[in-house]
């Protein structure tokens, strides 16, 4: 069983460390630890630190808030910030909190984040969304104490793509999200954060019909995207000797990362088109519905007479872990 000890540091009001808090507040400060529970338990390889035998380079983003006043509700844009940080190894950091206050903790984790999202190349520790701050630079493996700035977009799936400095939707990145709604610190306490996997998979299976002549099809995810939000484009190859053609996309990050992790019934909807380059909606253009941690299979007849005809979603493939392991 794999537990991840996380120790972090923060100040409560002024954004300073424990040594800098006013004397009358110093006695109220306690040091606590943190560990990940939930879907990160039982994984085959450690996910909190880089493995010297692996090319994966993990990346965590963490934001600590004060619990909102009664009736206000949590909003990452308006809730009072306490501390934040970006880490590749969060096992040795301490979090110092005021035992008379209550806190919200938001975290996101990408097992291979340093290789998968945009890095500006000028600073070795600056990654793009979702790990940048509203002030720009975020040093890695340092806790930043501030009530004015913090990590942005931990709860959504916008990524700065690794090969270009634009925001991309439905990136093929593995990702987890966790949220602690209310924590009351005490000396030596442990914050347990339930990390949920916030990805899905898609399999498209086309069945041939008489008269079908195309040797490849174009599939566009998020087909209604425009401007800087470009749709994701894939090619489905068709072999003349085979009765079916199949495209598997094993890992796609949800756009509503926070909702998919915290709402058990959440289903995400986006547009997909299936066709050829000259007519991308030839076979299908419409809504696809997906849920977290599930491989979804869509089957369709490769019949060009009627768009949207013969598309059959199948949600019976179960959780993604087994599917993903088989398809890597």
Better pLDDT: 209 or 163: 209
Task: Please state the rounded mean pLDDT for residues 293-303.
Answer: 85
Instruction: Single out the residue in 197, 230, 263 at which a domain terminates.
Output: 197
Beta pairing partners, 237: 216
pLDDT for 155: 92
3-state secondary structure of 214: coil
Percent of the chain with pLDDT over 70: 70
The domain in which residue 19 lies consists of 5-197
pLDDT category of residue 249 using cuts at 50, 70 and 90: very high
26-35, 153-162, 236-245, 248-257 — most confident range: 248-257
Is residue 238 located within the same domain as residue 152?
Answer: no
Q: Are 202 and 184 in contact (CB under 8 A)?
A: no
The strand order across the sheet containing 216-221 reads 232-237, 216-221, 268-276, 279-290
CATH number (domain holding residue 256)? 2.60.40
Q: Are 238 and 216 in contact (CB under 8 A)?
A: yes
pLDDT of residue 122 exceeding 70, the answer is no
Is residue 85 located within the same domain as residue 210?
Answer: no
Task: Please state the rounded mean pLDDT for residues 16-35.
Answer: 59
Query: pLDDT tens digits, residue range 98-115?
Result: 899 999 999 999 888 888
Residues with Cβ within 8 Å of 86's Cβ and at least 6 positions away in sequence, in order, are: 59, 60, 61, 62, 125, 127, 131, 138, 139, 140, 141, 151
Instruction: Single out the residue in 197, 225, 258 at which a domain terminates.
Output: 197
Of 146, 119, 125, give the one whose Cα is nearest residue 135. Answer: 146
Is residue 157 located within the same domain as residue 301?
Answer: no
Query: pLDDT tens digits, residue range 284-293?
Result: 888 889 999 8
Is residue 50 located within the same domain as residue 190?
Answer: yes
pLDDT of residue 121 exceeding 80, the answer is no
Is residue 128 located within the same domain as residue 67?
Answer: yes
**Cα 238 off chain centre by:** 32
Query: pLDDT tens digits, residue range 62-104?
Result: 899 999 888 788 888 889 999 888 888 766 667 888 899 999 9
Better pLDDT: 36 or 178: 178
DSSP for 31-48? EEEEEEEETTTT-SS-SS
pLDDT category of residue 317 using cuts at 50, 70 and 90: very low
pLDDT for 51: 39
Is residue 167 located within the same domain as residue 234?
Answer: no
Of 54, 68, 58, 69, give the one whose Cα is nearest residue 6. Answer: 58
Q: Is the peptide bond before 61 cis (omega within 30 degrees of 0)?
A: no
pLDDT category of residue 123 using cuts at 50, 70 and 90: low
Is residue 82 located within the same domain as residue 155?
Answer: yes
Is residue 224 located within the same domain as residue 79?
Answer: no
Beta pairing partners, 84: 63, 144
pLDDT of residue 4 exceeding 60, the answer is no
pLDDT category of residue 10 using cuts at 50, 70 and 90: very low
Of 86, 82, 69, 167, give the one whose Cα is nearest residue 124. Answer: 86
Is residue 13 located within the same domain as residue 158?
Answer: yes
pLDDT for 98: 87
Query: How far is residue 316's CA from residue 244's CA, in Å, rounded to a whole number?
Result: 20
pTM above 0.75, yes or no: yes
Query: For residue 320, which phi and psi values (nearest 5 degrees)?
Result: -80, -25
- Work out how many domains the chain is built from and give that number: 2
Q: Are 152 and 89 in contact (CB under 8 A)?
A: no
Of 209, 94, 92, give the one whose Cα is nearest residue 145. Answer: 94
- Least confident range from 117-121, 142-146, 240-244, 292-296: namely 117-121
pLDDT category of residue 40 using cuts at 50, 70 and 90: low
pLDDT category of residue 266 using cuts at 50, 70 and 90: very high
Instruction: Single out the residue in 197, 231, 252 at which a domain terminates.
Output: 197
Is residue 158 located within the same domain as residue 210?
Answer: no
Is residue 37 located within the same domain as residue 174?
Answer: yes
In the chain, DSSP assigns E strands to 5-6, 29-38, 59-66, 81-87, 95-98, 103-110, 142-145, 159-160, 167-168, 176-183, 190-197, 199-207, 216-221, 232-237, 244-253, 268-276, 279-290, 295-301, 311-314
Question: What is the residue-averaged pLDDT of the chain?
Answer: 75
pLDDT for 280: 81
Tokens of 154: 């931990």
Is residue 240 located within the same domain as residue 140?
Answer: no
pLDDT category of residue 319 using cuts at 50, 70 and 90: very low
Query: pLDDT tens digits, residue range 185-240?
Result: 988 888 888 889 999 999 998 888 877 788 889 999 988 877 667 788 999 998 88
- Least confident range from 11-20, 27-36, 146-155, 208-217: namely 11-20
């Amino acid at each position: 069983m794999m537990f991840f000890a996380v120790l972090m540091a923060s100040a409560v009001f002024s954004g300073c460390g424990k040594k800098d808090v006013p004397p009358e507040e110093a006695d109220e400060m306690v040091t606590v630890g943190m560990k990940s529970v939930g879907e990160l338990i039982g994984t085959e390889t450690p996910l909190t630190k880089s493995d010297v035998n692996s090319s994966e380079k993990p990346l965590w983003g963490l934001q600590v808030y004060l619990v909102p006043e009664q009736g206000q509700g949590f909003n990452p844009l308006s809730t009072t910030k306490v501390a934040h940080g970006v880490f590749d190894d969060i096992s040795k950091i301490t979090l110092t909190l005021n035992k008379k206050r209550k806190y919200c903790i938001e975290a996101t984790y990408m097992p291979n984040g340093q290789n998968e999202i945009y890095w500006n190349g000028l600073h070795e520790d600056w990654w793009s969304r979702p790990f940048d701050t509203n002030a720009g630079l975020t040093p890695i493996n340092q806790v930043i104490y501030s009530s004015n700035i913090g990590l942005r977009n931990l709860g959504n799936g916008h990524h700065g793509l690794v090969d270009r400095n634009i925001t991309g939707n439905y990136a093929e990145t593995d990702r987890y999200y966790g949220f602690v709604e209310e924590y009351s610190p005490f000396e030596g306490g442990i914050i347990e954060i339930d990390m949920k996997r916030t990805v899905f998979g898609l399999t498209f299976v086309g069945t041939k019909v008489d008269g079908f002549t195309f040797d490849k099809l174009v599939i566009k995810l998020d087909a209604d995207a425009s401007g800087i939000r470009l749709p994701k484009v894939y090619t489905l190859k068709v072999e003349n000797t085979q009765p079916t053609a199949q495209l598997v996309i094993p890992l796609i990050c949800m756009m509503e990362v926070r909702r998919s992790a915290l709402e058990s019934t959440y289903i995400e909807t986006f547009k997909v088109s299936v066709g050829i380059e000259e007519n991308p909606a030839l076979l299908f253009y419409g809504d696809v519905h997906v849920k977290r941690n599930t491989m979804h299979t869509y089957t369709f007849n490769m019949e060009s007479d009627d768009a949207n005809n013969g598309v059959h979603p199948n949600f019976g493939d179960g959780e993604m872990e087994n599917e993903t392991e088989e398809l890597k």
